[in-house]
Amino acid sequence: MDTEIVQLHHAGNREEALRRFAEQYQSRLYALARRLLGNHDEARDVLQEIFIHVDQSLAHFKGESSLYTWAVRLATNVCFNYKRKFDRVNRHTPLDEALPKAVLLPTERPRDNPDAMCRTQFRQYLVEHALQQLPATQRAVMVLCDLEEMTAPEAAKMLGVNTNVVKSRLHRARVALRRVIGKEFEALGVEVEGTHDFECTQQYLSTRA
């Protein structure tokens, strides 16, 4: 699929290439943006910017990594730039002027009523909520390293810090997340069993879920 997307784009069929890219990766990039920014509406807006950058940069994709890994790096930079509010007005280009129409798929707001969720979805909701309570610096390294599976050096390069800083923040983030999850689960009477095992928590937060 990655090869087909790149070939279509190189051949000038941008709309079909981006539509296939959206079908394959939009939901995961939206989840990445929502977790980095902590807000559905901001993530939806940034998703447009991400696709603009994908469209502008696909011609330079050299295949040195998977297309998704390449897109994650690009999307993370877009999110960080958005968060810092560097030239937001000048950098934003309306989607219908920058991309072929009907490329982005609908994005639904995450359901905010836990009572309407089944048990697994409720637990996932609580873990996601706990993640958003972490300081932004800790949340960023956890999203990049534990959910997007970047190495510490890769995340450090992305964040503009050294590798030891990433490792330290990641350790503190994991400890803090376990603590927050435990408190929230216990307060709401949800079974805590398994949630202190980070692999279990990662499963709930997986961008592939």
Give the pLDDT confidence score for residue 201 in this predicted structure. Answer: 65
Nearest Cα residue to 147 out of 196, 207, 200, 204: 207
Residues 81 and 129 in one domain: no
150 in the same domain as 62: no
Q: Where are the alpha helices (DSSP H) in the chain?
A: 2-10, 14-37, 40-57, 67-84, 88-91, 95-98, 119-132, 136-142, 152-159, 163-187, 198-205
Range of the domain at 86: 2-98
Q: Are residues 90 and 132 in the same domain?
A: no
For 24-43, write each residue's pLDDT tens digit.
999 999 999 999 988 888 89
Tell me the one-letter amino acid at 9. Answer: H
65 pLDDT band, cuts 50/70/90, is confident
Whether residue 55 contacts residue 18, with contact meaning beta carbons closer than 8 Å, is answered with: yes
> Do residue 94 and residue 7 come from a single domain?
yes
Same domain, 170 and 125: yes
User: Quick one: pLDDT at residue 203?
Assistant: 65
pLDDT digits (tens, 9 = 90+) for 105-161: 555 555 555 555 556 676 677 778 888 889 989 999 999 998 888 999 999 988 889
Regarding whether 145 and 88 lie in a shared domain, the answer is: no
- Which tokens sit at 195? 């949630």
Rounded CA-CA distance 85/12 in Å is 32
Domain count, the chain: 2
Q: Is there a single domain that holds both residue 8 and residue 94? A: yes
CB 196 within 8 A of CB 145: no
| CATH number of the structural domain spanning residue 176 | 1.10.10.10
Same domain, 32 and 89: yes
Give the Cβ contact number of residue 65 at 10 Å: 12
**Does a structural domain hold residue 35?**
yes
* Residue 69: inside a domain: yes
> What was the pLDDT predicted at 29?
94
Q: 58 and 82 share a domain? A: yes
Q: Per-residue pLDDT averaged across 52-57, rounded?
A: 93
Q: pTM for this one?
A: 0.73
